Homo-oligomer: A and B are copies of this chain.
Amino acid sequence: MSSKNNPTRDRILKSCQTLLETKGASDVRMSDIAKRAGISRQALYLHFPNRAELLIATTRYLDEIHGIGKVVDDQIFTAEGVARLEGFIDVWCNYIPKIYGVGKALMAIKDVDEEARVAWDDRMSAVRDLCDRTIQSLIEHDMLLPDLNAKEATDLLWTLVSVRNWEHLTQECGWSQVQYLKHMHRSALKLFTVESWDIERV
C-alpha cells in the first residue's frame, strides 16, 4: 500500500492519522503516536526526522489510500465548462473531511515550522491549479461572468472551497457535509457562472 514497504512505518502513519482524526490536532504528541503504534518514542525518530516530516508523510499516505490523484484526473479530463466546475467541487469538497485532521495539524504548525509551511502551501497550490483549470474551462465555454477576470475568479473559487471554510461551516456552524456541498455548488454557480436566462437573453 505505502510506497516504501515498511510495516512499522505504515503503522506509525496509520496511528498518526487516526489520532489526528479523533483527538484535536494540537494534543497529539510524538509519545502518543509512538504508544499507539506500539513502539518507543525514540523509534519514531528512526523513521521520521521530526514531527513536521511525520505530518507531511501522513498527508501523502492519505493521498495514496484514497487515490485522490486518479479521481481528480478523471474529473478534470472528462467534463468541461459548468460540469467540470460541479465535478471539481464534488471531488475536492468530499476529500476535505478525509484530510482535515492532518490538515489542521499542519496548518497549526505552519506558522512556526518553515518545512511544514512549504509542504502545506504546496498541496494547496495544487488545489489552486485545479481551480485555475476549472475557471479556464468556464472561460473557454463562455460561462464565466464577464465582470470577473481569470485570476480573480481563480482566487475566489480557491477561497470558497478552502479547508478553512469547510471547517467554519461544518465545525462552527454545524452544517452537514451534504448541506455544505449543496451550498458550495450554489455559491459557485451564483458567483462565477452565467445563468441560463442570461444566455437566452443574449
Q: Footprint of B on A, CB under 8 Å?
A: 24-27, 104, 108, 111-112, 124, 147, 152, 155-156, 158-159, 162, 164-165, 168-169, 172-173, 175, 179, 183, 186-187, 190-191
> Nearest CB to that of A168 among chain B residues?
B159
> Number of copies of this chain in the oligomer?
2
Q: Which residues does chain B contribute within 8 Å of A156, judged by CB atoms?
A: 183, 187
The 10 A-B pairs at the shortest CB distance, nearest first, are namely: A164-B164, A26-B111, A155-B173, A190-B190, A26-B112, A159-B168, A190-B191, A159-B165, A159-B169, A162-B168
What are 30 A-B interface contacts by the 8 Å CB criterion? A24-B111, A26-B111, A27-B112, A104-B111, A108-B108, A108-B111, A124-B172, A147-B186, A152-B179, A152-B183, A155-B173, A155-B175, A156-B183, A158-B168, A158-B173, A159-B165, A159-B168, A159-B169, A159-B173, A162-B164, A162-B165, A162-B168, A164-B164, A164-B165, A164-B168, A165-B165, A187-B191, A190-B190, A190-B191, A191-B191
